[in-house]
Amino acid sequence: MEILYQDNRILVCIKPSGVVSTDEPGGMPQRIRDCLGDAHACVRTVHRLDAAVAGVMVLARSRMAAELLSEQVRARTFEKEYLAVLSGIPDAPEGTLRDLLFYDRASRTARVMPAPGPDVKEAVLDYRVLGTADGCALVHIRLHTGRTHQIRVQFASRGLPLLGDRKYGAEEAPFPIALWSYRLRFSHPQTGLPVEFSRLPPDEAPWSAFRSCSIE
């Protein structure tokens, strides 16, 4: 477990692909406790990444910190940015995707709905194409809402599934879903000061095809 930063209120780390975010056996809180060598340490999830998704994640080290960070998530002042590789190239080099999403708990999949309804929620993100290679596009994404599978289904519904995301129509690939939690910005729950943490994805497929692209 790679830890980027820790104090007595928060811990920022790189979540590996294949690990759930929630506090259950093998989940991120348990893994952090193992890393800290304290099975009873207070480690709380405040934002979730899909199990298949890797990248920067922050966890709270106290109940109060968890409450304050969760409030920022609800107020949409907790900023989340991602990198993704799409199977295809968007028509526009940048834009906003706005949809109504319904998450089906039985099938564990989300889908775009044509009209409002029970359990249908608005999903909004901004994207910008950073580069293209072999008919695929590297995109920078800023989330405005945090719906389950939001990035995956919003692009897939436009015929642009993320590489490796078989659940939403992509072909099988020899790597995890091409979605990386790149940057987090929020107010520190103790000091109230703005903090920022970021990490680029590893220099391996599919990211290595875009190593010459400028992220900023």
Catalytic residues: 50
CA distance 134 to 93: 17
Burial degree of 178 (CB within 10 A; 0-12, 13-18, 19+)? buried
Alpha-helix residue ranges (DSSP H) falling in the chain? 28-36, 63-75, 150-156
Contact 18, 176 (CB under 8 A): yes
Enter the tokens of residue 193: 């000061």
For residues 201 and 137, what is the distance between their CA atoms, to the nearest angstrom? 15
Distance from C-alpha of 89 to C-alpha of 131, rounded to nearest angstrom: 9
Q: At a CB cut-off of 8 Å and minimum separation 6, what does 89 contact?
A: 129, 132, 135, 136, 137, 160
Whether omega for the bond prior to residue 114 falls within 30 degrees of 0, making it cis, is no
